[in-house]
């Protein structure tokens, strides 16, 4: 059953790159906003007369914490009507009409295999939520590989926080890789595909794959993962854009 539309209030904004912003939204009518890590909300923005042309969906970047506040991380798209509105018109204190949580891009009930969380750009949002949730609730798990494709080091969203989480969770591996940086010691360069293929080349790893980001990356990853002998049903995806 779909949740009703509710009014959210933007209580905090923070720019993390020139084109990426964090939005903290509170839903005053709820005591707590319940969602599963990996789910999304849909915003109804006053940018068009037709409803379906006003709706924009974003994965929730925070883990459920028992409050009525959640976080989104949004990148400003060139000629993107929705993101232009969010960046230019939304201030702290602004109201936003929203519906959620929605979506089935969520963790398995029991985690019996290694999880490969593969993303580009703001596709990191659902995986940040999942990693913190697993840690906070001591959920039994195998290896978690968060493989994050960025252009430059400055694009590695939540980097300090995820490096800290890696220290606290021995089985959590934060693996950013940079497509437009020069190779250096202790820095991965290139695309996400090289990273998971290298890990899987050790052979016979039971794994599930979660893909979130731009279509090109997801299409190529699906092809490569099935090419390695994994089943399509082991691949879950959330498409951006």
Spell out the domains of the chain, with CATH numbers in brackets: 6-102 (2.40.30.10), 114-240 (3.40.50.80)
Long-range contacts of 166-170 (CB under 8 A, 24+ apart): 168/135, 169/131, 169/134, 169/135, 169/144
What is the arithmetic mean of pLDDT over 207-217? Answer: 95
pLDDT of residue 176: 96
Report yes or no: 60 and 126 within 8 Å, Cβ to Cβ.
Answer: yes
pTM for the model: 0.95
Answer whether residue 241 shows pLDDT above 70.
no
What is the arithmetic mean of pLDDT over 78-105? Answer: 96
User: How is residue 181 written in tokens?
Assistant: 């940086």
pLDDT tens digit string along 21-64?
Answer: 999 999 999 999 999 999 999 999 999 999 889 999 999 999 99
Answer whether residue 240 shows pLDDT above 80.
no
Residues 215, 108, 168: CA angle, nearest 5 degrees: 90
Higher model confidence: residue 241 or residue 144? Answer: 144
Instruction: List b or e across 142-178, with b for residues whose CB sees 16 or more CB atoms inside 10 angstroms.
Output: ebbbbbbbbeeeebbbbbeebeebbeebeebbbbbbb
């Amino acid at each position: 059953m779909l949740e009703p539309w509710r009014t959210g209030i933007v209580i905090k904004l923070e720019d993390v790159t020139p084109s990426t912003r964090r939005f903290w939204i509170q839903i005053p009518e709820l005591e707590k906003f319940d969602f599963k890590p990996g789910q999304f909300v849909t915003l109804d923005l006053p940018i068009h007369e037709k409803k379906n042309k006003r709706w924009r969906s974003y994965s929730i970047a925070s883990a459920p914490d028992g409050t009525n506040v959640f976080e989104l991380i949004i990148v400003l798209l060139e000629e993107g009507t929705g993101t232009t509105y969010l960046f230019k018109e939304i201030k702290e204190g602004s109201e936003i009409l929203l519906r959620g949580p929605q979506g089935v891009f969520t963790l398995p009930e029991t985690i019996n295999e290694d999880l490969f969380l593969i993303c580009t750009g703001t596709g990191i949002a659902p995986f940040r939520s999942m990693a913190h949730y697993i840690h906070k609730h001591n959920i039994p798990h195998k290896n978690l590989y968060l493989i994050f494709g960025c252009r430059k080091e400055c694009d590695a969203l939540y980097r300090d926080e995820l490096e800290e989480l890696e220290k606290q969770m021995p089985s959590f591996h934060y693996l950013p890789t940079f497509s437009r940086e020069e190779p250096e010691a202790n820095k991965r360069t290139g695309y996400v595909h090289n990273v998971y293929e290298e890990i899987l080349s050790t052979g016979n790893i039971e794994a599930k794959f979660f893909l979130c980001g731009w279509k090109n990356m997801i299409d190529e990853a699906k092809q490569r993962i099935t090419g390695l002998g994994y089943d399509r049903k082991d691949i879950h995806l959330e498409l951006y854009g």
